[in-house]
Amino acid sequence: MTTTTLAPMPTGSPLPAALEDRTVMIIGGSSGIGLAAGELLASVGARVVLVGRDKARLETALDHVRATPGASALGIAADGNDESAVERALDQAGQVDHVLVTAGTIAAGALLDTPRERVSEVVDGRIWGAYGVARAAAPRLPAGGSITFTSGLYLMRPVPGASASIAGIGAVEGLTRALAVELAPRRLRVNAVRYGVVDTPLARTAMELADDAAVAAAGEGLLIGRLGTAQEAASASLFLMANNLMTGTVLTVDGGQGLV
Ligand X SMILES: NC(=O)c1ccc[n+]([C@@H]2O[C@H](COP(=O)([O-])OP(=O)(O)OC[C@H]3O[C@@H](n4cnc5c(N)ncnc54)[C@H](OP(=O)(O)O)[C@@H]3O)[C@@H](O)[C@H]2O)c1
Residues in contact with ligand X by CB under 6 A are 27-28, 30-34, 51-54, 57, 79-81, 102-106, 125, 150, 152, 195, 197-198, 200-203
Nearer to ligand X, 18 or 164 (CB): 164
Nearest distance from residue 215's CB to ligand X, in Å? Answer: 11
Nearer to ligand X, 18 or 236 (CB): 236
Give the side-chain half-sphere CA count within 13 A for 23: 20
Sign (positive/negative) of CA torsion 21, 138, 237, 208? positive
Nearer to ligand X, 102 or 247 (CB): 102
Nearest distance from residue 52's CB to ligand X, in Å? Answer: 4
Nearer to ligand X, 132 or 144 (CB): 132
Nearer to ligand X, 52 or 144 (CB): 52
Nearest distance from residue 111's CB to ligand X, in Å? Answer: 20
Instruction: Indicate the SS3 state at residue 88.
Output: helix
Nearest distance from residue 171's CB to ligand X, in Å? Answer: 13
Dihedral angle, C-alpha 81, 248, 224, 155, nearest 10 °: 60
Among the listed residues 232, 246, 131, the one whose alpha carbon sits nearest the alpha carbon of residue 191: 246
Give the chain's length.
Answer: 260
Q: Are 189 and 166 in contact (CB under 8 A)?
A: no
Nearest distance from residue 78's CB to ligand X, in Å? Answer: 6
Nearest residue to ligand X, scored by beta-carbon proximity:
32
Q: Are 215 and 209 in contact (CB under 8 A)?
A: yes
Nearest distance from residue 11's CB to ligand X, in Å? Answer: 30
Q: Are 196 and 224 in contact (CB under 8 A)?
A: no
**Amino acid identity of 3?**
T
Nearest-Å Rg of the Cα atoms of the chain is 18
Nearer to ligand X, 218 or 242 (CB): 218
Nearer to ligand X, 102 or 163 (CB): 102
Our measurement of the distance from residue 77's CA atom to the centroid of its chain's CA atoms, rounded to an integer in Å, reads 17
Nearest distance from residue 64's CB to ligand X, in Å? Answer: 12
Give the side-chain half-sphere CA count within 13 A for 254: 22
